[in-house]
Structure 1
Amino acid sequence: MKHSLFPISSLLLSNALLLLGHGLLLTLLPIVASQLGFTSLEIALTGSAYFLGFVSGCLLTPHILRRVGHIRSFAVLAVIYLVLILLLSYLEGFAVWLLARFIIGAAISGLYMIIESWLNERADASNRGAILSFYSMLSLLMIMLSQQLFTLGNNEYDILFVGAAILVALSIIPVSLTLSLAPAPVEDTKVSFSKVWKHSQIAMVGVIIIGFVTGAFWSLAPVFASQSNFTDGQLAMFMSASVLGGACCQIPIGKFSDRFDRRIVLFYLAFIGALVSAAMVAAAHYLPNFAVWPASVLAFFWGGTCMTMYAICLAHANDNAQAKDFVPIGSGMLITFGISSAIGGPIASGVMSYVGALGLYAYMAVFLALFALIIMVRRTTHELPDKVADHDTFQPSAGMTTPMAFSLDPRTEHLEDELKASKEV
């Protein structure tokens, strides 16, 4: 492992610094927007703009990379990102925030794509799985740690904006000073929605519903905590617990899904996620000290179910696919996930406007229960049962990533060898 990671240590360090600043901003922006007087719908729409920008960045970044290369592209996108961070600490208009969050989404997806394509270039058959696993773990860990940085502001949010900008600025240094050769320009994103639907209708439906749920979480969970009178420390712990649950449970649940029908695993994840979401509503309503510890405990289990389902859906879609289809299928699922995430926030905000902050988790409970019901009905009508013996080994996912990460899948290694051989001929 050490020999595999040392040559790419500068890339991983840049990724860690970038995610610390970005994760802090994910929690900070909804809170500041709420203090500026934005309604829940307006806050959710700024979140939607971010997710739409992320999808746009996945499609546009390859063109930038072909023009100026990886290092200059990373520096330019990071500078754009940190300038927008500093501007958002002063700007108060909703339309400006909408545009800024769209550009931030496009910039961060471009930065992810640069790092992931570089990692893919440095990977080979002997270390591809190790690099993917470590990258996924590092990404989730940095997002979790970034939530704790939120407590350093002591309600002085301008300091946190500056801190996030500094971390993004620092992420430019390791990439710029690396001795590792920059990779060749990446190809355009290959997307195939039809292949996803052909190989697994459950995976396509699942990624839409998961997008509805997790998109609402990232857009409105800080608002839920703020309106529930959490202190900054309690809010940070609540958000960290959600991410920690996903980080701790992803690989164990993924390995479990290798041994059993993945649809059954998804059913129980959705069902338990719905129960935990409902328990969150009940606990917030009835427990006087809900924010002290019950919220974080429930958030951990919520993250353990809801933040692991995307990777299981991706694995299920790839089970019956060939290696050449992994990237188009993964890209199709990622873009579907991004679009549904953009839709989920505004829907959840509408529920919150009628029933208050608790409406967020009530909304999640309904959609997760719906997914569990769809799986149950599908298994009774689908003629081709899931064949556990045909399962490929589960591969972890860093969550909201780019199509370049799918090329890190060790199962694509032999396909690359075939392509190189055909070019030599």
Structure 2
Amino acid sequence: MLSILSNAWALLLGMLLLMLGNGLQGTLLGVRGAIEGFDPAGLSWVMSAYFLGLLIGSRSAPRLIKRVGHVRVFAALASIISAAFILYAAAPDLVAWAVMRLIVGFCFAGVYVVTESWLNDTATNETRGQALSVYMMVSMAGLVLAQVVLTLADPGGFTLFIVISVVVSLSFAPILLSVSPAPVYETASPMTLRRLYRASPLGAVGQLLLGAGASAVFAMSAVYGSQQGLSVEEISLFVALVYIGGFVFQAPIGWLSDRMDRRLLIIASSGLGAAAAAAAFVAQGEGMLVFAAALLIGGTFNPLYSLLIAHANDFLPPEDMAAASGGMLFLNGLGSVGGPVIAGALMQAFGAPAFFAYLAATLTALCSYALWRSTRRASVAVEDQAAYAAVMPSASPVAVEVAQEVAIEQILAAEEEEAAEEEAAEEAAAEGAGAAKGSGAAQ
């Protein structure tokens, strides 16, 4: 890990600043929207526009990079992001915000592809898994730090918008001055949705439901806090706990994933998240329960993304894993576009606590479907399961495919080790038979 930090510290520092800016803009818009008098339904369309831009950008960015190069794409898209962050404060209008969120989502998709390609280029086969883990930790640190920055100035003014614009602008320097043009990362063509569903119904349907729930969590948490009457400091803590939960739960769920039936773990994880959301809804957002629920819900949604990919891999040959990940990424993105809109409409009709009712419903649907699927097909033996590789739901196709490469390498290594053990056992048996034959001849 130290070698990764020494080789890619500038790239990781730039990514930390980018994620700080991105994490702060989402929370800040939720708070500022309430100050401007925007209702939850209107803000939900603004929040959803980001995921639509991310979905479009994730499919367009590789072609754009191939045509003009990594450096130019990164510099252009990051500059647009920086400008959009300033314009939020200058144009407090729902339509203007939605258009800018769409543009920002598209640009961040390209920025993610570029930075993840550069990071992948700096790693070796032996360090690629560690590099992905460090990248995820840095990204999560930026998102959590963003919630702290929210409390340092009045969200009703211009200061925080200027801060996020400056932070993104500063991220250019360590990245552009430390990298060389990376080779274009050719992502695999996504597997058709029909074929993906046939290979892993739970993987396909699960990603669609997960996207619909996770996008609402990450986009509408600040809107919920504002509608519930929480202070800026409380909103900051609430959103930070969502990200902290996602980070803290990733490792233990990943550890369990390689040691038990993954469908049972999906059922348990989604069931725990649904119970936490239902409890917060019943409590109507009162007391400390809402903060505990944020931690558990974040800890559910983030690891489930990697868990569903790993489950789908259990039923796929290694050569199909990259294509399948592209299909699941698309389904997750498709669900993400609709999630905030549905949650916002419910909050508008039934009040802020409906936010938790929606999350409970999506997680219950995922838990129920996983439970039903467990009765339709035999589980894969634990020793035959594909390796679990942690990756964030916001990752680009590059990071998802890198995670798949790590999983494939572990599968191949395990197969080679098993073959070597079988060969050694056969040699030992042959030597034993020869020794026995020699002993019999001597007698």
The answer to whether the superposition gives a TM-score over 0.5 is yes
Would the aligned equivalents of 2:52 and 2:102 in 1 still touch at CA under 8 Å? yes
2:373 matched to which residue of 1? 378
SS at match of 2:63: helix
2:332 paired with 1:333: no
2:67 matched to which residue of 1? 67
Matches within 5 A, 1:312-331: 312-331=307-326
Q: CA deviation at 1:98?
A: 1.7
Q: Once the two structures are superposed, what CA deviation does each residue of 1:298-353 show, in whole Å capped at 9, x if it has no partner?
A: 21112112222111111111223233323222221112111101111111122112
Q: CA deviation at 1:68?
A: 2.4
1:136 matched to which residue of 2? 136
Matches within 5 A, 1:337-352: 337-352=332-347
1:420 matched to which residue of 2? none
In structure 2, how many angstroms separate the alpha carbons of the residues matched to 1:359 and 1:211?
18
Change (3 A) 1:177 1:167: same
SS at match of 1:183: coil
| Residue of structure 1 aligned with 2:305, choices 302, 310, 313 | 310
Q: Mean Cα displacement is larger for which, 162-171 or 152-161?
A: 152-161
Matches within 5 A, 1:139-154: 139-154=139-154
Unaligned runs of 5+ in 1: 417-425
In structure 2, how many angstroms separate the alpha carbons of the residues matched to 1:272 and 1:197?
26
1:89 matched to which residue of 2? 89
In structure 2, how many angstroms separate the alpha carbons of the residues matched to 1:155 and 1:102?
22
SS at match of 1:307: helix
2:425 paired with 1:397: no
Q: Mean Cα displacement is larger for which, 103-112 or 55-64?
A: 55-64
In structure 2, how many angstroms separate the alpha carbons of the residues matched to 1:155 and 1:261?
46
Q: CA deviation at 1:105?
A: 0.3
Q: In the comparison of the two structures, how many residue pairs are matched?
A: 409
SS at match of 1:308: helix
Q: Runs in 1 of length 4+ with deviation above 6 angstroms?
A: none
Matches within 5 A, 1:278-297: 278-284=278-284, 287=286, 290=287, 293-297=288-292
Alpha-carbon RMSD? 1.9
Matches within 5 A, 1:15-164: 15-164=15-164
Would the aligned equivalents of 1:326 and 1:406 in 2 still touch at CA under 8 Å? no
In structure 1, how many angstroms separate the alpha carbons of the residues matched to 2:408 and 2:221?
37
Q: Once the two structures are superposed, what CA deviation does each residue of 1:92-142 show, in whole Å capped at 9, x if it has no partner?
A: 332222211111000011101101111112222210111111111221121
* Structure number with larger C-alpha Rg: 2
Question: Structure 2 length normalisation: TM-score?
Answer: 0.88
In structure 2, how many angstroms separate the alpha carbons of the residues matched to 1:258 and 1:222?
35
Matches within 5 A, 1:201-280: 201-280=201-280
Q: Mean Cα displacement is larger for which, 260-269 or 329-338?
A: 329-338
In structure 2, how many angstroms separate the alpha carbons of the residues matched to 1:414 and 1:272?
30
1:191 matched to which residue of 2? 190
In structure 2, how many angstroms separate the alpha carbons of the residues matched to 1:50 and 1:331?
19
1:411 matched to which residue of 2? 407
Percent of residue pairs bearing the same amino acid type = 31
2:352 paired with 1:357: yes
Would the aligned equivalents of 2:31 and 2:155 in 1 still touch at CA under 8 Å? no
Q: Which has the higher contact order (CA 8 A, sep 6+)?
A: 1
Q: CA deviation at 1:362?
A: 0.7
In structure 2, how many angstroms separate the alpha carbons of the residues matched to 1:295 and 1:242?
11
Change (3 A) 1:247 1:163: same
In structure 2, how many angstroms separate the alpha carbons of the residues matched to 1:249 and 1:132?
17
Would the aligned equivalents of 1:139 and 1:398 in 2 still touch at CA under 8 Å? no
Question: Structure 1 length normalisation: TM-score?
Answer: 0.92
Q: Once the two structures are superposed, what CA deviation does each residue of 1:179-203 show, in whole Å capped at 9, x if it has no partner?
A: x432112335621134432331111
1:423 matched to which residue of 2? none
Letter in 1 for 2:11: L
Q: Mean Cα displacement is larger for which, 353-362 or 210-219?
A: 210-219
SS at match of 2:158: helix
Q: Mean Cα displacement is larger for which, 104-113 or 40-49?
A: 40-49
2:177 paired with 1:177: yes
SS at match of 1:385: coil
In structure 2, how many angstroms separate the alpha carbons of the residues matched to 1:361 and 1:166?
34
Change (3 A) 1:385 1:57: same
Unaligned runs of 5+ in 2: 413-443
In structure 2, how many angstroms separate the alpha carbons of the residues matched to 1:239 and 1:342?
20
| Residue of structure 2 aligned with 1:368, choices 363, 384, 392 | 363
Letter in 2 for 1:370: A
